[in-house]
Structure 1
Amino acid sequence: MSSMIEVKSVGKSFGQLAVINDCSFSIEKGSITGMIGPNGAGKSTIFNIIAGTLPLDSGNIILDGEDVTNLSADRLFSKGLLRTFQIAHEFSHMTALENLMMVPPKQVGENLFSTWFQPSKVAKQEARNKRKALEVIDYIGLSHVKNELAGNLSGGQKKLLELGRTMMTDAKVVLLDEVAAGVNRTLLKGLTDNILRMNRDFGVTFLVIEHDMDMIAKLCDPVIVMAQGSVMVEGKIEDIQNNPRVIEAYFGSSDIA
């Protein structure tokens, strides 16, 4: 398999504190790769560097064969790299359906000239976006709340909506930031199932930072373990759970979970 993301010798410091140290790993195309480690291991920092929300000090980030080092999040979005957030970032005063319709880039209705002098062109694109949004909201199982204000949705429904927003574009890779946080077990199953379906049906590559080890075990192969700003070990979850170095460094017992 070829790599969708390559992290090459990345370094990042905040003042005198080195947070990421010569960190290198690859995310294979079509994989669902997990990333785990204790607080302070550098997971969120390397995640934000890949997502374009934090500049690196050294090294390179390669996306699908292209060097995208220190490109901004909006430019990465146009290249097919998207992210979700631990706390959902919905447009709370818009409906769930409208949240999805906001996502597609380069909408002609954003141009004042088009809204005044090309209303039929705007209307046609809006209709296309609405059709796709209806398909997506049905796919993720939120049709029953499509007309509800997004701010009124539960935490789990907001996470599903964020996942749906990634489907409104031609996403190549989606970075999931603790998607299980604050989600009840029923909706968590729906989230997990939708991630697996997107991976299977559309070939979307995922990088998942998560503390829920049951979710990691169900979703992810391989799993990357971060330690002191670099990769400690990488492999299948069952091997990692029994790895003495991981047990000793992070968990102090034989039970990772």
Structure 2
Amino acid sequence: MSFDAVIDVRNVSKRFGGLTAVNNCSLSVQRGSITGLIGPNGAGKSTLFNIVAGNIVPDSGQVLFDGQDVTGLAPHQLFRQGMLRTFQIAHEFSNMTALENLMMVPGDQPGESLVDSWLRPRLVKARETEVRKKALDVIDFLKLGHVRNELAGNLSGGQKKLLELGRTMMVDAKVVLLDEVAAGVNKTLLHDLAANIERMNKELGYTFFVIEHDMDLIGRLCDPVIVMAQGEKIAEGPMSEIRANAAIVEAYFGSPVEAD
């Protein structure tokens, strides 16, 4: 394991009946990076991503997070340790405002306790004020102030993706898993989304692990890019090298990919 690896996947395999989805795969995500994971349909990347996120338990191998073995831990357990995931389809609380969605994220708030609400109202109020201030700071960072009081269910696809990014900022995640962040987002908001991911990485030190089909977005955001095929990691490097590898382009993308 590299000293700076925040996620380290070691010899992970997963089978579904007679199908081997992930075959003895090893890879790492370096702290402070935006690491991309790409490959054709059936490559095993979604299965591996779900194993890292705690949605699937591997048949063999290990997943280490921040140096600790977290193999088989559930998503809510990983959340407490600082690993957060966004989804291809945003999972907002549609009947709450954008601001309220953000304020819901931090766990163990005293207002969740009936006893604290009755006996320690000042503590409850102080914590609520603190959480609200942070939520407003996140909204300001993401430039969502114009929709902060709008019901989240009324937001556009791109705005919902921005809101999901904001939810990861409410708990200062060690690593954010981005699942098809470009899906359902128009080009204008996708540019804003990418810019905010870059800002979170460069200004706030967030680490991202990205699974994505949009090669232009991967090329803009990610270094390194990891390529999977037939359940195995077959290449890793900057997107310029991946695009220039004729064998990878022909075998795994079907046609030449032009360089940026």
Q: Please indicate the TM-score interval, normalised by the length of the shorter structure.
A: over 0.9
CA distance in 1, matches of 2:181, 2:250: 27
Normalising by structure 1, what TM-score? 0.97
Matched, 1:118 2:89: no
The question of 1:20 aligning with 2:25 is answered no
Asked if structure 2 preserves the Cα contact closer than 8 Å seen for 1:7 and 1:23, the reply is yes
Please state how far the C-alpha of 1:256 moved relative to its aligned partner.
6.6
* C-alpha distance in structure 2 between counterparts of 1:239 and 1:180, whole Å: 23
Deviation digits for residues 69-128 of structure 1 (CA, Å, limit 9, x no counterpart):
111111111111000000000000000000000001111111121122222211111110
The 4+ residue runs of structure 1 with deviation greater than 3 A are none
- Residue in 1 aligned with 2:52? 50
Q: TM-score normalised to the size of structure 2?
A: 0.96
Q: Which moved more, 1:152-161 or 1:48-57?
A: 48-57
Q: What amino acid maps onto 1:92 in structure 2?
A: S
Q: Does 1:78 align with 2:80?
A: yes
- Aligned-residue identity in percent: 63
Matching residue's letter, 1:106: D
Match of 1:164 in 2: 166
**Aligned positions, number:** 257
1:143 aligns with 2:139: no
CA root-mean-square deviation: 1.2
Q: Distance in 1 between matches of 2:228 and 2:85?
A: 20
Q: Which runs of 5+ in 2 are unaligned?
A: none
Structure 2 counterpart of 1:218 = 220
Distance 1:223 1:21 in 2: 19
Q: Are 1:251 and 2:253 an aligned pair?
A: yes
Give the 3-state SS of the residue equivalent to 2:250 in structure 1: helix
Please give the alpha-carbon distance, in whole angstroms, between the structure 1 residues aligned to 2:253 and 2:13.
Answer: 26
Secondary structure in 2 matching 1:13:
strand
1:29 is aligned to: 31
Q: How far apart are the structure 2 equivalents of 1:200 and 1:253?
A: 33
- Opposite residue 235 of structure 2, the aligned amino acid is V
CA distance in structure 1 between the partners assigned to 2:34 and 2:85 by the alignment: 14
Task: Select the residue among 107, 128, 131 that pairs with 2:130.
Answer: 128
Matches within 5 A, 1:69-108: 69-108=71-110
